[in-house]
Amino acid sequence: MEKKSSALNWILFFVSVVVCVAMYLSPMFANYITATFPFICYYFVKALDLI
């Protein structure tokens, strides 16, 4: 069960990074890029099983 959860967290981490880059490249949503940072950090730490 742990491996499945870890894999899901890695997928969510990479999706968060892609959303962050897409928001950075979009002039309309560039001001809201900091909203993705907590998701990136959270899923990265969860994928590494630190918390």
pLDDT at 3: 62
Query: What's the pLDDT score for residue 42?
Result: 87
**Mean pLDDT estimate for the chain:** 83
Give the SS3 label for residue 27.
coil
Number of separate domains in the chain: 1
Place of tokens 């990265």: 44
Instruction: State the CB neighbour count (10 A cutoff) for residue 6.
Output: 14
CA distance linking residue 4 with residue 18, whole number of Å: 21
Domain of 35? 2-47
Q: Which two tokens stand for residue 37?
A: 């940072």
pTM for this entry:
0.76
Coil vs helix vs strand at 32 = helix
Q: Which residue has the tokens 């990479």?
A: 14
